[in-house]
Amino acid sequence: MSQLITNGTYNIFSVRPAATLYLTFTSDASGTNLTTWQENNAADQQWIIEGTDNRYQVQNVMYKNYISWTQDVAFVYADTNPFLWYVRNINGIFSPTDSMNSGWNVDDGYNDNNNPVIIYGDDPTTGIGSPWSLATISLPSSSSSASSTLTSTSTSTASTSPPSNTSSGGLAESDKITLGTAIGFGVPSIIIGIIGIKMWPNFKGWWKKKRPETYQLL
């Protein structure tokens, strides 16, 4: 079975009633009611969600307690032991049972702060109750590492400029090309010059023999 929620840290907020209310623990004491408050950007509204096969434990970042419940009480509360919640992807229902006929609900649907969360009957078809949404805060470091590695690889592949060797005392590519051109033209010129010097006496004698005397200025 595919996993509905990626393990990570999230804000969990109510999309019904009309006001946006965030799940909050206000104490580290076991038995503290789970409540809803306006967003405060603090760790008491951040939740580490981990699980598989659509059953998840939900732990508060600030107080380290888990969202828990027992059948003999209506209210959802904090506990040191994990509780596995079933999750339905339609409207984001968190339920204590796989039948999904009940789930987290804002008590009486109030929009004020400090409202307790209870287990209330949900209609699996219409989603009656309080559906919940997740806002990602962070995902496991392995996901971040993979992302940064891909970015790095992409950037490296896109680069087309060869590295310069000047920093290590060598020649840059442009210097090598210029030097090669100079050698290409310079070496033949030197060879021709040496041959010319050696052949000059013979050439001068030949010139005197072949050239008419009338062209010489006396």
In this predicted model, what pLDDT tens digit does every residue of 101-150 receive, in sequence order?
A: 889 998 887 888 999 999 988 665 555 567 899 999 999 875 443 222 22
**Can you spell out the DSSP letters for 33-90?**
BPEEE----SGGGEEEEEEETTEEEEEETTT-PEEE--TT-SB-EEESS---EEEETT
- Same domain? For 104 and 202 the reply is no
Question: Does some domain include residue 161?
Answer: no
Torsion-angle region of 114 (φ positive above 0: left; ψ -120 to 50: alpha; else: beta): left
Per-residue pLDDT of 32-77, as tens digits, reads 999 999 999 999 999 999 998 889 999 999 999 999 999 988 999 9
Q: For residue 213, what are the CA distances in angstroms to 201, 209, 210?
A: 19, 9, 9
Q: How many structural domains compose the chain?
A: 2
- Mean model confidence pLDDT for the chain: 72
pTM strictly above 0.85: no
pLDDT grade, residue 159 (50/70/90)?
very low
Question: Does some domain include residue 217?
Answer: no
pLDDT at res. 79? 98
- Same domain? For 135 and 34 the reply is yes
Question: Does some domain include residue 162?
Answer: no
Question: Does some domain include residue 3?
Answer: no
From the number of C-beta atoms within 10 Å of its C-beta (0-12, 13-18, 19+), residue 163 rates as exposed
> CATH no. for residue 46?
2.80.10.50
Range of the domain at 185: 173-210
Handedness of CA 175, 176, 181, 187 (dihedral sign): positive
Question: Does some domain include residue 60?
Answer: yes
Question: Does some domain include residue 215?
Answer: no
Question: Does some domain include residue 156?
Answer: no
What is the three-class DSSP state of 12?
A: strand
- Same domain? For 140 and 179 the reply is no
Question: Does some domain include residue 30?
Answer: yes
